[in-house]
């Protein structure tokens, strides 16, 4: 055909657009390759006999899989369920969107809703309605943000400097992980030390296999935990080597040491692992959300997370991702709402995927923003990275929406990066770990990523990492090391964070520490959104801070810039 | 959790009786405990939270065990969670209160035993018995027994 | 994309030799293949032929003077399960698991299943050189050495491009799982075919 020989110039231009590097696939509902509109999801329903749920979403108790049973016995409020289930889904959706209905009004109903019913509710909502609802249902009044601080070479010096910068830029939680798992103790120490060089009160975690993550937490080398994965089908849960009961026990184990934790789940993980049992991604994710609720965990990281390429490839997938954040919030869980994984080659698409969480605000808009360039991001990249800081700050300023970050002048950033690296140098020396040279400190102060840094002796570092575990080094040893090397204020901050374990205040829903080292959670900062003029709105000093960007022309003297 | 009536609570408050087991805390008034009710907070080793100072750390008077939460504190926080409308969170805190008595290695080993196909029914029952007998951890024992039943029905016990 | 550079194509023949048992020799590495590797599937997610993948893994092991044994894991398609099962059958305690799409893991029998010695989670980044180095490192672990880990490659744009296709490949692979089936020992033979 002549049309195939000669190609449209416009088609050629469009073919070059980054969005066409993204992968898209057809829906295949029979295997669960469908976001939230599947003919194979069950019909909502519940039956209670003698105070026990005997039927859930059309399945009799004798046939419950372990998720059904856990949800029926631990997540649903048996007193409330039959009454709540009798309310039409669209009426519940109205309750969610109507600002005159309070968050508490919604919780009185949502505590009795089954997975299929929750799905039916969000299926009646478009994304704007979901954002309205999320604005009200977010547990903590004040939104916050979380960053990743990782290194392609697992370089602890880099992690310390990036942690310091991230904390100064406004992140309240920092997460790291490893290329080589055995590096974990050194990198977790680096994160803990570096995070306290910027703004005080930042909480840190290291994503690892469950038992190891708990061990680092118990030692006080990390402050909280998040990578406690739950899955929406029994076979995939078992592939993850866990059950709702093992995970519930793990939740209590963390609380027993005064350590904050949240679970992790997300749409697409079951179909990704090949066992979706023919259910939609969102239906399975709702089961995860209710397992989390039933386990008595305060919160959940969801929003597809590491599987974002799966819902991202099917129709309506990003609507489903917003719906899962909304459902976590509407059953009263802290929600760290994704936006934490590389999502698209297209900048337009990256921003469009971000706005549904950024605009309404969530407990953590990103559950990790990459504080490094994405090539150093060991979670395989985030939706936003260190090169997007100025864009993010500008979007906050344009829309007067608080995404938790601020512009910081270069001199201040260099100062905290340098200080973090020197503090880590001191702590490593104090603990007898491989030395950090002055050259490394100097380079990391000015570095963008691991490519700008001298290589470390990996084998020596790995030996030292093992010795940290063998010798039983704890958070208290890091405090002593900071104090001994002349970083008394950082030692003080870290001790304050460790001391918070004794109070248990951080165990409550959506808890963070303020820069003044006080707990802010859904208990003492509960979301009071009630329509226009109410709820959290950036104002006062915070809004003034948000107005500052790298380049803003002075009104006083237009020949100069401010900030 | 002992739930005093409001009258009893009022009296206890007036008389200044604030031993943790009796205190019925008001989330709006008493939370966060670290700033609002620090006098209620003791480490499992019996130290007050205000004693955990940098001076004490440097003098070697603070051990890692001092930076742990006490079971009484977890039960206070369970009361707050309950009153904030979060019964599951409260129940988690009560299970956690029981686990404070267990050494780290035992906590980890029970977690590993609860993984799918990791334990026989007898092994899980033995763990539940141990929890109850040696640690008075009745809620945790109940959770383990419940797991044993479900695992049996769903064929995920160790063969 | 892989270029074998030989101008010829290798054909992989995998013959089953019954249930795989624990190995007696301490100088061996067990390679655990996923249910459809070199069978329904013939190439990785970026079209590297399975024959070449296996050849590089085996060459990496053998150049260290270590013996290699290949098994097919039929009871599941989870990489950690496959790699750990291979490690448990290995006389040295070191096993390598590899999925049809190319995702690979080095495991050790005494580690918990979800831990590992080295993990290469991004199948689209796996090239022949990486497979050779993985074989080499596995052999060195088997000899009791502590090799420097194979540098983890990281392409943060692999997910948006490949993840959904990977999911479809995994679903297909999972269709070949025989629940509860024992792993089987494989005879591996490479035949040269004219590339035409």
Subunits with 3+ Cβ pairs within 8 Å of C are: A
Residue A520 near residue A513 (C-beta atoms within 8 A): yes
The string of pLDDT tens digits covering residues A514-533 is 999 999 999 999 999 999 99
Active site residues per annotation of A: 146, 148, 175, 226, 301, 340, 367
Tell me: pLDDT of C7 over 90: no
Q: Which one of C75, C156, C170, C180 would you mutate to disrupt binding with A, by most A Cβ within 10 Å of its Cβ?
A: C156
pLDDT at residue number A3: 54
The string of pLDDT tens digits covering residues A229-250 is 999 999 999 988 999 999 999 9
pLDDT at residue number B7: 36
Which chain A residues are within 8 Å of B80, Cβ to Cβ?
508, 523
Which chain A residues are within 8 Å of C81, Cβ to Cβ?
239
Pair B5, B54 in one domain: yes
Residue A284 near residue A266 (C-beta atoms within 8 A): no
Q: Is residue C177 part of a domain?
A: yes
Pair B54, B91 in one domain: yes
Tell me: pLDDT of A320 over 50: yes
pLDDT band (50, 70, 90) for residue C192: confident
pLDDT band (50, 70, 90) for residue C156: confident
pLDDT at residue number C154: 72
Q: Which two tokens stand for residue A70?
A: 């856990």
For residue B159, the domain's CATH number is 1.10.1510.20
Cβ distance of C164 and A314 shorter than 8 Å: yes
Average pLDDT of every residue of chain A = 97
How far, in Å, CA of A332 to CA of B81, rounded?
A: 12
pLDDT band (50, 70, 90) for residue C193: confident
The string of pLDDT tens digits covering residues C73-94 is 999 999 999 999 999 999 999 9
Residues in chain C, how many?
Answer: 196
Task: List the single residue in A210, A313, A381 with the smallest CB-CB distance to C157.
Answer: A381
The string of pLDDT tens digits covering residues A492-508 is 999 999 999 999 999 99
Pair B123, B88 in one domain: no
Residue A330 near residue A110 (C-beta atoms within 8 A): yes
Closest-CA residue of chain A to C118: A180
For the residues A72-79, what does the mean pLDDT come to? Answer: 98
Range of the domain at B134: 102-159
Boundary-marking domain end, from B78, B100, B122: B100
Pair B119, B159 in one domain: yes
The string of pLDDT tens digits covering residues B66-90 is 999 999 999 999 999 999 999 999 9
Cβ distance of A23 and C163 shorter than 8 Å: yes
The string of pLDDT tens digits covering residues A111-155 is 999 999 999 999 999 999 999 999 999 999 999 999 999 999 999
Give Cα separations from B148 to A375, B117, B126 (angstroms): 45, 11, 11
How far, in Å, CA of A347 to CA of A385, rounded?
A: 12
pLDDT at residue number A157: 98
Pair B95, B108 in one domain: no
The contacts of residue A81 (CB under 8 Å, 6+ apart) are: A46, A48, A53, A112, A113, A114
Tell me: pLDDT of B3 over 60: no
pLDDT band (50, 70, 90) for residue B2: very low
Cβ distance of A380 and C156 shorter than 8 Å: yes
The rounded percent of chain B whose pLDDT value lies above 90 is 84
pLDDT at residue number A305: 96
Q: Is residue C174 part of a domain?
A: yes
pLDDT at residue number C33: 98
Enumerate residues 336 to 395 of chain A having a beta carbon within 8 A of any beta carbon in chain C.
Answer: 341-345, 374-375, 377-378, 380-382
Range of the domain at C162: 12-148+158-187
What value, to the nearest 5°, has the Cα angle with vertex C89 and ends C87 and C91?
85
Instruction: Count how many domains chain C has.
Output: 1
Lowest mean pLDDT among A69-73, A277-281, B4-8, B28-32: B4-8
Flag whether residue A106 sits within 8 Å of chain B, measured between CB atoms.
no
Pair B40, B72 in one domain: yes
How far, in Å, CA of A379 to CA of A207, rounded?
A: 9
For the residues A6-15, what does the mean pLDDT come to? Answer: 96
Tell me: pLDDT of C2 over 70: no
Boundary-marking domain end, from B85, B100, B115: B100
For the residues A453-462, what does the mean pLDDT come to? Answer: 97
pLDDT at residue number A160: 98
Which chain B residues are within 8 Å of A509, Cβ to Cβ?
84, 86, 89
pLDDT at residue number A275: 86
Residue C189 near residue C55 (C-beta atoms within 8 A): no
Flag whether residue A314 sits within 8 Å of chain C, measured between CB atoms.
yes
Residue whose structure tokens are 């013939």: C42
pLDDT at residue number B4: 37
The rounded percent of chain A whose pLDDT value lies above 70 is 99
Tell me: pLDDT of B18 over 70: no
Average pLDDT of every residue of chain B = 89
Order across the sheet with C8-19: list the strands. C8-19, C184-194, C67-72, C28-33, C94-98, C104-108, C118-120
The string of pLDDT tens digits covering residues B91-100 is 999 999 999 9
Q: Which fold has domain A46-137?
A: Annexin V; domain 1 (1.10.220)
| Residue boundaries of the structural domains of chain A | 46-137
Instruction: Count how many domains chain B has.
Output: 2
Q: Is the dihedral of CA A135, A137, A141, A145 positive or negative?
A: negative
Q: Which two tokens stand for residue A509?
A: 């829903």
Enumerate residues 239 to 298 of chain A having a beta carbon within 8 A of any beta carbon in chain B.
Answer: 241-243, 245-246, 248-258, 293-298
Subunits with 3+ Cβ pairs within 8 Å of B are: A
Tell me: pLDDT of C6 over 70: no
Cβ distance of C160 and A344 shorter than 8 Å: yes
For residue C130, the domain's CATH number is 3.40.50.10150
Enumerate residues 68 to 97 of chain A having a beta carbon within 8 A of any beta carbon in chain B.
Answer: 69-70, 73-75, 77
Tell me: pLDDT of A212 over 50: yes
Task: List the single residue in B31, B33, B154 with the smallest CB-CB distance to A66.
Answer: B154
Which chain C residues are within 8 Å of A344, Cβ to Cβ?
160
pLDDT at residue number C140: 98
Q: Is residue C2 part of a domain?
A: no
Pair B30, B66 in one domain: yes
Tell me: pLDDT of B20 over 60: no
The string of pLDDT tens digits covering residues A383-435 is 999 999 999 999 999 999 999 999 999 999 999 999 999 999 999 999 999 99
pLDDT at residue number B28: 96
Tell me: pLDDT of B23 over 80: no
Which chain A residues are within 8 Å of B49, Cβ to Cβ?
499, 502-503
pLDDT band (50, 70, 90) for residue A211: confident
Q: Which two tokens stand for residue A433?
A: 């770990």
How far, in Å, CA of A465 to CA of C52, rounded?
A: 36
Phi-psi region of A447 (alpha: psi -120 to 50; beta: other; left: phi over 0): beta
Cβ distance of B114 and A249 shorter than 8 Å: yes
Average pLDDT of every residue of chain C = 92
pLDDT at residue number A4: 65
pLDDT band (50, 70, 90) for residue C8: low
pLDDT at residue number C115: 87
Q: Is residue C106 part of a domain?
A: yes
Order across the sheet with A52-56: list the strands. A46-49, A52-56, A59-60
pLDDT at residue number C106: 98
């Amino acid at each position: 055909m002549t049309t195939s020989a000669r190609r449209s110039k416009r088609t050629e231009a469009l073919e070059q657009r980054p969005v066409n590097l993204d992968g898209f696939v057809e829906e295949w509902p029979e295997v669960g390759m469908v976001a939230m509109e599947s003919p194979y999801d069950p019909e909502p329903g519940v039956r209670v006999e003698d105070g026990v749920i005997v039927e859930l979403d059309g399945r009799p108790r004798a046939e419950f899989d372990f998720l059904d049973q856990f949800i029926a016995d631990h997540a649903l409020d048996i007193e409330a369920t039959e009454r709540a289930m009798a309310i039409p889904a669209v009426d519940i959706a109205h309750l969610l969107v109507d600002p005159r209905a309070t968050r508490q009004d919604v919780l009185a109903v949502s505590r009795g809703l089954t997975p299929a019913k929750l799905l039916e509710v969000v299926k009646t909502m478009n994304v704007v309605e979901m954002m309205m609802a999320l604005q009200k249902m977010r547990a903590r009044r004040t939104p916050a943000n979380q960053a990743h601080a990782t290194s392609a070479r697992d370089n602890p010096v880099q992690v310390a400097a990036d942690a310091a910068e991230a904390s100064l830029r406004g992140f309240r939680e920092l997460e790291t992980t490893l290329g080589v798992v055995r590096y974990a103790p050194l990198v977790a120490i680096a994160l803990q030390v570096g995070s306290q060089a910027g703004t005080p009160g930042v909480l840190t975690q290291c994503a690892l296999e469950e038992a190891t993550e708990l061990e680092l937490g118990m030692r006080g080398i990390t402050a909280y935990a998040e990578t406690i994965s739950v899955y929406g089908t029994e076979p995939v849960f078992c592939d993850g080597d866990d059950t709702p009961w093992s995970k519930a026990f793990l939740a209590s184990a963390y609380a027993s040491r005064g350590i904050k934790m949240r679970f992790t789940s997300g749409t697409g993980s079951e179909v990704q692992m090949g066992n979706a049992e023919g259910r939609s991604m969102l239906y399975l994710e709702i089961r995860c959300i209710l397992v989390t609720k039933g386990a008595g965990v305060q919160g959940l990281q969801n929003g597809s997370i590491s599987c974002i390429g799966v819902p991202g490839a099917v129709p309506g997938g990003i609507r489903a991702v917003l719906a899962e954040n909304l459902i976590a919030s509407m059953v009263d869980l802290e929600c760290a709402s994704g936006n934490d994984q590389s999502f698209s080659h297209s900048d337009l698409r990256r921003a469009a995927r971000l706005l549904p969480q950024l605009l309404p605000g969530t407990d953590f808009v990103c559950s990790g923003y990459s504080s490094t360039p994405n090539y150093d991001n060991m979670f395989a990249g985030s939706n936003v990275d260190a090169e997007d800081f100025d864009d993010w700050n500008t979007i906050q300023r344009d829309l007067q929406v608080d995404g938790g970050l601020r512009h910081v002048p270069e001199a201040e950033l260099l100062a905290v990066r340098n200080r973090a690296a020197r503090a880590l140098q001191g702590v490593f020396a104090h603990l007898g770990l491989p030395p950090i040279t002055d050259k490394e400190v100097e380079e990391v102060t000015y570095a963008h990523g691991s490519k700008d840094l001298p290589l470390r002796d990996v084998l020596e570092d790995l030996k030292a990492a093992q010795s940290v575990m063998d010798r039983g080094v704890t958070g208290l040893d890091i405090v002593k090391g900071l104090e001994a090397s002349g970083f008394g204020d950082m030692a003080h901050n870290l001790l304050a964070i460790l001391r918070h374990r004794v109070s248990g205040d951080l165990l409550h829903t959506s808890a963070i520490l303020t820069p003044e080292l006080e707990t802010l959670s859904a208990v003492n900062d509960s979301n009071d959104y009630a329509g226009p003029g109410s709820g959290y709105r950036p104002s006062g000093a915070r809004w003034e801070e948000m107005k500052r960007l790298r380049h803003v022309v002075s009104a006083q003297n237009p020949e100069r810039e401010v900030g | 959790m002992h739930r005093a009536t409001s009258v009893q609570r009022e009296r206890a408050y007036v008389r200044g009786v604030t031993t943790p087991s009796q205190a019925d805390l008001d989330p709006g008034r008493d939370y966060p405990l670290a700033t609002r009710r620090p006098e209620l907070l003791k480490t499992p080793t019996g130290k007050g939270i205000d004693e955990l100072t940098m001076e004490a750390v440097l003098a070697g008077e603070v051990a890692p065990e001092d930076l742990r939460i006490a079971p009484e504190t977890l039960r206070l926080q369970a009361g707050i969670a309950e009153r904030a409308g979060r019964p599951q969170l409260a129940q988690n805190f009560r299970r956690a209160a029981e686990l404070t008595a267990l050494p780290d290695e035992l906590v980890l080993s029970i977690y590993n035993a609860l993984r799918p196909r990791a334990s026989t029914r007898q092994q899980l029952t033995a763990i539940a018995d141990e929890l109850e007998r040696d640690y008075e951890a009745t809620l945790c024992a109940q959770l383990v027994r419940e797991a044993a039943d479900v695992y049996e029905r769903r064929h995920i016990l160790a063969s | 994309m892989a270029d074998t550079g030989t101008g010829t194509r290798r054909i992989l023949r995998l013959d089953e030799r019954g249930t795989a048992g624990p190995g007696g020799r301490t100088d061996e590495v067990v390679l655990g293949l996923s249910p459809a590797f070199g069978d329904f599937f013939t190439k990785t997610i970026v079209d590297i032929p399975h024959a070449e993948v296996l050849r590089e893994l085996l060459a990496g092991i053998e150049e260290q003077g270590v013996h290699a044994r290949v098994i097919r894991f039929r009871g599941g398609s989870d990489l950690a399960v496959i790699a750990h099962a291979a490690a448990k059958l290995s006389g040295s305690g070191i096993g390598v698991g590899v999925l049809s799409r190319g995702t690979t893991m080095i495991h050790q029998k005494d580690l918990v299943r979800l831990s590992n010695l080295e993990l290469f989670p991004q199948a689209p980044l796996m090239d022949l050189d990486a497979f050779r180095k993985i074989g080499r490192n596995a052999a060195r672990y088997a000899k009791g050495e502590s090799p420097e880990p194979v540098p983890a490659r990281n392409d943060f744009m692999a997910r948006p491009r490949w993840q959904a296709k990977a999911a479809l490949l995994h679903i297909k692979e999972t269709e070949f799982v025989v629940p509860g089936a024992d792993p089987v020992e494989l005879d591996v033979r490479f035949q040269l075919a004219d590339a035409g």
